[in-house]
Structure formats: C-alpha cells, structure tokens
Amino acid sequence: MAISPENEHPVKAFGWAARDSSGHLSPFKFSRRATGEKDVNFKILYCGICHSDLHSAKNEWGITSYPIVPGHEIVGVVTEVGSKVTKFKVGDKVGVGCLVGSCHSCANCKDDLENYCPKMILTYGAKYYDGTTTYGGYSDIMVSDEYFVIKIPDNLPLDGGAPLLCAGITVYSPLKYYGLDKTGMHLGVVGLGGLGHMAVKFAKAMGLKVTVISTSPNKKKEAMEHLGADGFLISRNTEEIQSAMGTMDGIIDTVSAVHALLPLIGLLKTNGKLVIVGAPEKPHELPAMPLLMGRKIVGGSCIGGIKETQEMIDFAAKHNIVADIEVIPMDYVNTAMERLLKADVKYRFVIDIANSLKPF
Ligand SMILES: NC(=O)c1ccc[n+]([C@@H]2O[C@H](COP(=O)([O-])OP(=O)(O)OC[C@H]3O[C@@H](n4cnc5c(N)ncnc54)[C@H](O)[C@@H]3O)[C@@H](O)[C@H]2O)c1
Ligand SMILES: [Zn+2]
C-alpha cells in the first residue's frame, strides 16, 4: 500500500490542497523531510497566488496529480539549517520560487538555466529525488536545498516581494535575454495581471517606454497614473491598434487564455520580438506571413534560473519594485481563485499564511 502523504516524512506539515479538477482547495495534512545537511527549513509567512496555481489545481494542462498543494511564490524566515549550509542562517528572510531541484550537470544547469534542465523539479506536484511528492507554499513550513533558496534583501517587504519569485522573474528574464532592456526601447505588455503589472514595473525601471495592451478599458487610468505606463491600447479597438502599428521593439504577452497574435505581430517594428510567457491550455494560431514581412520573432520564456532570480530580487530591492497586492487569509483562497479567473484582482493575491493558516 502507498504511504500516505502524512507519513511519507518525519516532519508534520499542514496546508491546503486541491483533490480533483474542480480545483477546490481544502485543509490537508502531509509531511516534509527532516532538514538534510544542505537543506534550509523555513516558516512560511506569505505565498502569492499565480495563475499557474489555478491552471494546476484544475488540471488545465493535463499533468496534475492529486492531491496538490499549490504555491510557488513563497517567502518566510529560516528556522533551521543543515550542517553543510553556507548561504543561510536561522532568522534570515528567504524565498523559494518555482524550482526545488535540477540535475546540476547538464548544459543548461552549467549555464545557470536550471529552469530549462530536463530534470528540473517543480516546487509542487512533482517527484523529488527520493520519489516523494513536492508540495508548495499554501502550507506552514518549507524545506529546500539551499541552492534553490533566494535571499530576500532587508528593505524588500515580504508580502509584496513574494510575487517576484514567479511573476517577477518570469518577466525580468525575457526582458534581459531578448535584449528588451535598453533605455528608450518601446515595449508592449499584453494582459495587465500578476505578470503583466510586474513587466510594466521592471521595464519602467530599465528606462523603457511601456504601452499596455488590454481588453479592459477600466484599467487605463491606473496603468498610466499608478503603474507609470506611457500608453494604453484597448485590444478590441482596431483604430487604436492601427495607430500603433510598427512602433514596438518587443512585446511581453502574459495572457492566460488563447487570443489573436496577428494584431500583436503588427504592432512590432521590423526585427521586433513577441515573447509569450502566458501558458493557455490550448495552442495559439500563428500567422506566418506577417512574421516574414519584417523578420519578426515569436519566442517563449519560462521563469528563470536561480542566479538570475537572485539578480532580479536584488534589482527589485534597489529600485523599490514590489507587486501590488491584495493580502488575503487562507480560507479566502477559493474565492480568490474565482476572482483571479475573472481578472478581478489588482494585481496579485498574496496569502497571509502565518496569521491565517490554522491547523485542524
Ligand atoms: N512562462 C512562465 O514561466 C510563467 C510563469 C508564471 C505564469 N505563467 C502563465 O502566465 C499567464 C498569466 O499569469 P498571471 O499569474 O499573470 O495571471 P493573471 O490572471 O494575473 O493575468 C492574466 C491576464 O490575462 C488577461 N486575459 C485573460 N484572458 C484573456 C483573453 N482572452 N484576452 C486578453 N486578455 C486576457 C487577464 O485580464 C489578466 O490581466 C498564466 O497562463 C500563467 O500560467 C507563465
Ligand atoms: Zn507562477
């Protein structure tokens, strides 16, 4: 008989899990491994809610095995370190993002691209080296190999800082890799949700001109006055889109559902780059001709490596970049998921784990 999640490991843990494709989350007892010699153990204080948590809880990508404890924007305070840990000590403020393991020997790992390692281990819903299941941050405690733990600088608030660990790095990494980080460049950001609003903030800090492309006219005022966007296009307004054709060096597309790429390709200058980071369950249609005419590129990007994640966090701390958040108690999570689906959040839910996760 399979060992129950509660008895897999010696350390008792508690969180909220989805049990089936309804995605409904409810209290869940499980266990975590004892702190190994290279492990950092920490008390979770906050965890952001990424749209990927929603896709996973509802098995929209078809790869979920239940029960699943989501959460990969995890921050907290170190309570124990293993004997061979060198980077962290008890009391440090730390975070874990989407990754807790990789092979450390493939070409990608050697290039600090653990996020593209074929053997990378995701923070939840994956199999760890010992064959046990990984559980995410909608839970009381976390244990991770120190390699995958990020230092949170003292001046970075933990609640608003948590979403940097996924939403932040997911937009920072392609801005750097695709060379869309040069002062004066014009960047489009499609979808003003968790990832999108971080893209606006990072791009502005890098000195870019940023235009938000959104389906929601009611986000315009705030995008321009509060987030600092320079322009705002309503994607269904063909006149507005027409007037901006051929003006953008790059676009970061964060939309979580299938949508038309043709108008976005049209917004790019010659040699422009459309970078897709949104992960809809169904494929996009890609029109070839508009790509040819103007030597345009459509690319993708998936989170970022550990070294780059630390670099992004340090950049965020230096430029006072945090997510705009709505802090919620644990038992609000199902309502939060429903609201996330309707894009009714500005711009990231963050669960106040320490003050609201109650054992039963
Ligand atoms: N590439 C990666 O490494 C990575 C990392 C994190 C998240 N993601 C994916 O990115 C996507 C966005 O994540 P998020 O947490 O920012 O989600 P979010 O829900 O906060 O934001 C998504 C945005 O897309 C907009 N949107 C939804 N449907 C739309 C449609 N049909 N047309 C136009 N706009 C639409 C919403 O209004 C919202 O502003 C998700 O699919 C998520 O799984 C990818
Ligand atoms: Zn995420």
With a pLDDT cut of 70, the percent of the chain lying above it is: 100
Reference 48, options 255, 151, 149, 194; nearest CA is 194
Write the pLDDT tens digit of every residue in 208-245.
999 999 999 999 999 999 999 999 999 999 999 999 99
Write the pLDDT tens digit of every residue in 296-335.
999 999 999 999 999 999 999 999 999 999 999 999 999 9
- Whether 342 has a pLDDT exceeding 90, the answer reads yes
> Would you give the distance in Å from CA 329 to the centre of its chain?
20
For a mutational test of ligand 1's pocket, the pick from 60, 63, 195, 262, i.e. the residue with the most ligand atoms closer than 8 A to its C-beta, is 195
From the CA of 172, which ligand is nearest? 1
Burial class (CB in 10 A: 0-12, 13-18, 19+), 119: middle
Cβ-Cβ contacts under 8 Å for 319 (sequence gap 6 or more):
205
DSSP string, 258-282: ----HHHHHHEEEEEEEEE----SS
- Whether 336 has a pLDDT exceeding 70, the answer reads yes
Q: Which residues pair with 46 in a beta bridge?
A: 75, 352
For a mutational test of ligand 1's pocket, the pick from 49, 51, 341, i.e. the residue with the most ligand atoms closer than 8 A to its C-beta, is 51
Q: How many CB atoms are located within 10 Å of the residue 320 CB?
A: 12
**pLDDT tier at 258, thresholds 50, 70, 90:** very high
- Whether 344 has a pLDDT exceeding 90, the answer reads yes
Burial class (CB in 10 A: 0-12, 13-18, 19+), 273: buried
pLDDT of residue 1: 58
The residue whose CA is least distant from atom 8 of ligand 1 is 278
Q: Could you tell me the distance, in angstroms and rounded to a whole number, from the CA of residue 192 to the centre of ligand 1?
A: 8
Write the pLDDT tens digit of every residue in 133-175.
999 999 999 999 999 999 999 999 999 999 999 999 999 999 9
